[in-house]
Amino acid sequence: MAKEKVAQEENNEVKDGEQHTEATQEEVHPNAEAGSEEASASKEESTDWKDKYVRLHAEFDNFRKRTSRERMELIKNANGELITSLISVLDDFDRAMKHNEQNDDPEALKEGFQLIHNKLYKVLEGKGLEPMNAQGESFDTEFHEALTQIPAPSDDLKGKVVDVIEKGYFLNGNILRYAKVVVGN
């Protein structure tokens, strides 16, 4: 009888286990369908993000190419405005050369060249060119290029610029060309 009771209890446990397994499988099926829907939604979202990434990458490549083209075009045409303003100075030189063929007056020639020089200077100054004042200044390697050193004519010119061989220039506040100078030693 004890054996029958134990067998019956085991039978009941097996039946309970089967019922529990069936209940678990019923619970899994609704989750499986929800998981499948989540997976497909996740896959769609992944595809959308991938598409957005590819489009963004292509858009960036196009932007880079366009800015490169624009930069090259700007560099190509950057001097156009300067050249246009210098053409009038060139015209003045042409007129002066024609006039010099017919006129031998050195004062008129001198005055003509002075006028052309002033006009050229004003055009360049209008574009941001400024001359560097180096004569008598203390020698500074940030602004001056020493071509040679000579004995200073006076004690106050030691270590200073005695002579300017080529003027230095600034363009919009930046050094365009260093002044080539002779320094007193």
Give the tens place of pLDDT for each residue, 94-124: 888 888 788 778 888 888 889 999 999 999 9
User: How is domain 130-185 classified at the architecture level of CATH?
Assistant: Roll (2.30)
Domain range summary for the chain, segments of one domain joined by +: 130-185
Predicted TM-score (pTM) above 0.85 = no
Q: What pLDDT does residue 75 have? A: 82
Which residues, 6 or more positions from 168, have their beta carbon under 8 angstroms from its beta carbon?
A: 131, 132, 134, 143, 144, 175, 176, 177, 178, 179, 180
Q: What are the phi and psi torsion angles at 168 (to 5°)?
A: -95, 155
Give the pLDDT band of residue 10 (cuts 50, 70, 90): low
Chain position carrying tokens 């054996």 = 3
Least confident of 76-80, 86-90, 148-152, 155-159: 76-80
Give the tens place of pLDDT for each residue, 58-107: 999 999 999 999 999 888 887 788 888 889 888 988 888 888 788 778 88
